[in-house]
A and B are shown apart, each in its own frame.
Chain A
Amino acid sequence: MTTNKLSVTIERGSDAQEVFEVPAYDNQTVLDVVSWVQQNADPTLSYRFACRVGMCGSCAMMVNGVPRWTCRTHISKVLKGNAVTIGPLRNLPVIKDLAVDMDPFFDKWVGAEGVHHGALTRDDPIAPVDEDSAPRVEANAGIECINCSVCYAACDTVAGNADYLGPAALQRAWTLLNDAKDEGRLAILDAVSGAGGCHNCHSMGSCTLYCPNELDPMSAIAGLKRETARNFFKRGR
């Protein structure tokens, strides 16, 4: 049911922005609004989405200055009066309009050793995992990350230091460090204690506050800080 119009400002390029009149509906996400503009007002508008149900992590954008997953953000939650401003994710190079280049984000994921370090072959028996062990509980806390880069966009340390690995990659490293099936302990600790590593984090907490899946990268990074420090003193002995 159309009741009235929304005033939607979309940032296109570093200083260009366009205002669109979009019909308001009772049930409407931010992504619905962007899609309406692309389908009805300006077919050249570029943006990115895939699953529309908060699983794929491709539709994150800045909405009124806050990074959000647009497919699961109801427009009524973010409207100021009848207006909303939508821009590309912060801290990533813009390709066009609302689509950003995610390569730096994923490169850092690998840079933090966020890859599986296996020691077994397919011929070995499957190692049992104790679901209740303390390390497994720590690992489980971070495995629902959907790589949406909302935390990366929210982080001021990323904004100030292009080499900083960022909350998502470091949380992945912490998850693997606690994974009984991962054998990359020293490689991970080396990767996350370097110049762009976990010790850059100032615990500002924006990552944890804005994570759409309610994960806690800040605490994961604190875990890495403790573990790298412990490892440093052990090596010194």
Chain B
Amino acid sequence: MRAARGITSRAHPLWLAYILHRISGLGLALFLPLHFWVLALAMTDPARLDGFLTLTEAGVVKLAEFGLVFLLAVHMFGGLRIMALEWLPWSPSQKSLAAGATAASFLIACLFFLKAV
């Protein structure tokens, strides 16, 4: 069964999109309980919350926030992708056009965003 092992047969875009969606979902599921617990500190222990919030100045936490936003973005687009893929009976060429249009609009939005920054 050795030929069946490894990831040879999985190295294609749809499978990679699937695994990215799954892993980002797991990452968010791990993050959310911690997130709610920290938010709850505002009610139960404000002083401790302030102490916690000073952590956000640290470089490593800032880096982690980038990761978090990445996970959120990837998971959201992954979900939209799945819904479009399964609920809209589009032909492959229509799907390619839609993906191209989304990518182009995202690019333009990023350009405007960079200009604003």
Contact = CB atoms under 8 A, between A and B. Distances in A.
Interface of A: 11, 14-15, 17, 62-67, 85-88, 90-91, 94, 153-154, 156, 202-206, 208-210, 218-219, 222-223, 225-226
Contacts of B12: 205-206, 209
A65 B85 contact: no
A187 B8 CA distance: 37
Contacts of B15: 156, 204-206
Contact of A204 (B3, B4, B14, B87): B14
Interface in B1-39: 1-6, 8-10, 12-15, 18, 22
B1 A88 contact: yes
Contacts of A63: 3
Contacts of B57: none
B45 interface: no
Nearest to A216: B92
B89 A223 contact: yes
Nearest to B81: A203
Contacts, number: 74
A203 B14 contact: yes
A203 B82 contact: yes
Given A11-B1, A63-B3, A203 B8 contact: no
Given A156-B10, A203-B18, A87 B86 contact: no
A128 B60 CA distance: 69
12 contacts: A11-B1, A11-B3, A62-B3, A64-B8, A65-B3, A65-B9, A90-B4, A94-B1, A202-B18, A203-B86, A205-B18, A222-B87
